[in-house]
Amino acid sequence: MDKYEQRAVLGGSFLMLIFFVAVVIATTGFGVTVPTCIVDVKPFKHGQLLKLADKHYELHAVAKMWSFDPPEITIPPGSRLDIFLTSPDVAHGFNIEKTNINLMAIPGQVTYASLTFDQNEWGNFRLFCHEYCGMNHHAMQGWIKVWPAAALGATNQPVQQPAPAARPAEKPTDTTTQQSNGGAKQ
Ligand code: CUA
């Protein structure tokens, strides 16, 4: 074998070994895994958040033109979130910023991934579609809100969003302050 050919083969083998070690470290050390496509769960039409146990939630997410259902959820820090994702129309993306959740919502299929938030990690995590899906693709986003119970107010319990009841309750206080302010100025 030619001297240079030998070096190329050796160098290539060495690179393959490095890549293999990198994959092993990523899966074992950093928990980077490939999302699984679930075959024994039928695609669903409506999104919801289920509380399975303390700090253990199951999200049924529907990505559709051009929104997510539910559009936002609120869970406490340290929670484990099991995500089941599907789409009724075209392929969408499902990416939660600042996490390693990066999924595809595929019509007729259910994709699964699990995510556990750190106990000290909280705030609003934007959820966005990263697969071009039509005219309003750029506006397709949602929110994963990770808040301590204390920051959630009177209910003292992380509640399921999109809680349509919670929003009208916030609005009256907002509008009255705005109205009284507006009235005072004029
Ligand atoms: Cu949905 Cu892009």
pLDDT digits (tens, 9 = 90+) for 15-39: 999 999 999 998 888 777 777 777 7
- The answer, yes or no, to whether any atom of ligand 1 lies below 6 A from the CB of 104, is no
Tell me: the pLDDT tens digits for 85-132? 999 999 999 999 998 899 999 998 999 999 999 888 888 999 999 999
DSSP letter at 1? -
DSSP letter (8 states) at residue 148? -
Determine if ligand 1 sits within 6 Å of the CB of residue 146.
no
Q: How far apart are CA 114 and CA 15, in angstroms?
A: 31
CA angle 62, 68, 74 (to 5 degrees): 100
| Distance between Cα 40 and ligand 1 center (Å) | 25
pLDDT band at 40; cut points 50, 70, 90: confident
- Tokens, residue 95: 């990416």
pTM of the model: 0.68
Nearest protein Cα to ligand 1, atom 1: 92
User: Ligand 1 centre and the CA of 154: distance in Å?
Assistant: 35
